[in-house]
Amino acid sequence: METMKILFFGDITGRPGRSAVKSYLASLTERPDFVIANIENASHGFGLTKKNYEDLNSSGIDCFTSGNHIWDKKDIYDYIESAENLLRPINYPKGTHGRGSQIFEVRNHKIGVINALGRVFMPPIDSPWETVSSEIENLKSNGAESIFIDFHAEATAEKICFAKYLSAKYNTEGNALIKGFFGTHTHVQTADETIINGMAYITDAGFCGALNSVIGMEFSTSLKRLSTSLPERYEIAQDGDAQINGAEVLIDRTGAARITRINVKVSNNESEKEVNIDSGA
């Protein structure tokens, strides 16, 4: 296998995030080999409608991961079983709708993707340690040659510890099965991208959405809720500029060769159909 380029996008949040990611992908002069995006916040910040799934599915994204908000739009139950590219966290109880992993064939190379939820400061869920380890063995037995994991979790320590545990257990020098581990959920990109024993790692990939916002939401509604502790409906910020957070990973058969953070600003002028992409948002 020659070098392959993998793109991972942090939580796509609302219409600004959807538009920005689609514009970004359309602007690339060279298409990546495989694109993963977390979309649990894609529909007005909470959940994913079938319409938005189908729209994003035609934009060049190959695999969709999610998190605890994937159930927020009730029509998810109507289509999640047939949405082949959509994953929900694997460590929900047995019998939960949808799937938590999938194998994709890319240039005669089998890529496995696993989506999991953390447990620290999160709703009760089955152990990711046991569930993910079991699923890695399952993917291996079904021919997966490279595995990527979206760990949707709150606590940085849990993400770091889990990543190091899996890397030590499944990767050896010159032979890394797990080639990428991406933390999601906090919407704040961390600056700790690194290679751990052949595995590309970042504690949180960040989010894709309105730049002038509070993790994608309007400042005014966030301020009311956080300063008064009273219930307040969050609203998606509609600022014209958006930020795109994620990571670009180069892999070969031996492991990840490089990980580079994606942190760009997208200005989308709908009236003129212009897309301007600047580095260093």
**CA distances from residue 259 to 20, 41, 181, 245 in whole angstroms, order as listed:** 22, 25, 11, 13
Give CA 200 to chain center in angstroms.
Answer: 14
- Non-local CB neighbours of 97 within 8 Å, separated by 6+ positions: 76, 77, 80, 81, 88
What whole-number distance in Å separates Cα of residue 279 and Cα of residue 251?
23
- Non-local CB neighbours of 245 within 8 Å, separated by 6+ positions: 9, 10, 189, 205, 206, 207, 208, 261, 262, 263
Give one word for 58, left, alpha or beta, with left for phi > 0 and alpha for psi -120 to 50: alpha
- Non-local CB neighbours of 207 within 8 Å, separated by 6+ positions: 10, 11, 12, 13, 17, 41, 187, 188, 189, 215, 216, 243, 245
- Residues marked as catalytic: 69
Residue that has been written with the tokens 């989506």 in this structure: 115
CA angle (52, 113, 262) in 5-degree steps: 70
Give CA 102 to chain center in angstroms.
Answer: 14
